[in-house]
Amino acid sequence: MALNVVIMAAGQGTRMKSSLPKVLHRLAGRALLQHVIDAAARLQPDRLIAVVGHGAEQVRSAMAQAAEGLRFVLQQPQLGTGHAVQQAVPELLEPGTTLILNGDVPLIEAETARALVAACDGRRLALLTVHLADPTGYGRIVREGAAVRAIVEHKDASASQREIREVYTGMMAAPTAHLKRWLAQLNNDNAQGEYYLTDVVALAVAEGVEVVAAHPADEIEVLGVNSPAQLADLERRWQRRQAERLMAEGVRLADPARFDVRGRLSCGRDVEIDVGCVFEGHVVLGDGVRIGPYCVIRNAEIAAGAVIHAYTHIDGDAQGVKVGEAALVGPFARLRPGTELGPQVHIGNFVEVKNSTLARGAKANHLAYLGDATVGERVNYGAGSITANYDGANKHRTVIGNDAHVGSNCVLVAPMTVGEGATIGAGSTLSKDAPAGQLTVARAKAVTVAGWQRPRKTP
């Protein structure tokens, strides 16, 4: 039996007041539609279909790699939810079940979607419903006793029907053959002149097909996004859940209301995270790691005992960043893709490191740049020093041996090697190798001009 998943993602989202299609607005660092696609993909459907309309090409382009086998169908013009699903009918496989999800309801869990499919069981029409304290805007579930008899859209509901608190979430599962037949019978005889998907409930009842309801574990799974305020509210709800999960695992958050995970964050024991920190991509924090306030960390592994001081920006991008045990980084440091810091490395304020490795105990404590460099153990890299790694066309590497000392305000013009135990005098610009164990100085001779006077402004 085939499982089809149809995700409705055609709406304009006028209340977002944005040129960006609603389903591409981001929650927790990912597009709303990407969240739904990820949940659907975990069901391993035989067909995964997104119905696009407003900004269709933009949505297709953004979601082209969202999931293997994802298909797009166009709804143009947008004439309601039933019309949207009608566009997917040629793609639906039979026999089997069709699950319908909403691209602007991002936090649906795969387990809930799976339970909805199970409730359908290839025989029944299964609706995902929830009880809300404020059901405004949602279609109401009308029952006779325990049996579901209809869904009435909010704008078409009577005063008494608007008192109903059980609402339809926009998600259902239906036997595919039945669904195709019901879709063909829809009409637009309603206040909006649209084809409502919810009308299939009355058609199922008329045919004697059982209509059942399933429920999510948490209402957050079924909350939609129609405005910037709703998006912000859902973001904070989602972030609070992540904070509670981490605190339950022993992580100490200075303030769970000022904390953002926009990807995956894994933490060891006794991790401490101060306020205002943002974690993106995949971040791993080892035992005893401490993260200072207002750090941004993306795609990085930080080993046990490391301390990341305030306002540090770590961006691993696709290559990643690794920080070794008991390393100290920041404040105001920047680690870029390809950086690997060994144990007990110190990276201080306003130091930038890119595509470089620093071995155990190396230090760059102030106002420095290390790009495309291999730095040995116990190296001291002076304030204001840089590796000049780019010749205008190609990048070149600098190698600094163990126990070398690079004085302040030096320029190391790559490719070059500083030998083990070498000392580079402050202010030197070197474009050739510096021998091991010796002092190398390259600076102009100081000249004092007797009798020189500073220019003065003319009257």
Which residues are known catalytic residues?
Answer: 366
- According to DSSP, the residues that pair with 439 across neighbouring strands are 423
Nearest alpha-carbon partner for 74 in 99, 97, 55, 102: 55
- The two three-digit tokens of residue 160, written as one number: 């008494």
Q: Please report the sign of the dihedral spanned by the C-alpha atoms of residue 257, residue 260, residue 264, residue 269.
A: negative
- The two three-digit tokens of residue 155, written as one number: 């704008």
Show Cβ contacts of residue 117 under 8 Å, excluding neighbours closer than 6 positions: 3, 43, 97, 99, 126, 173
Conformation bin of residue 440: beta by default, left when phi > 0, alpha when psi is -120 to 50: beta
Show Cβ contacts of residue 177 under 8 Å, excluding neighbours closer than 6 positions: 94, 95
Whether 52 and 10 have beta carbons less than 8 Å apart is answered as yes
Alpha-carbon span 280 to 267, nearest angstrom: 14
Amino acid identity for residue 148 in this structure = V
- Alpha-carbon distances, residue 287 vs 215, 260, 272, 328 (angstroms): 38, 20, 10, 15
Alpha-carbon span 318 to 114, nearest angstrom: 33
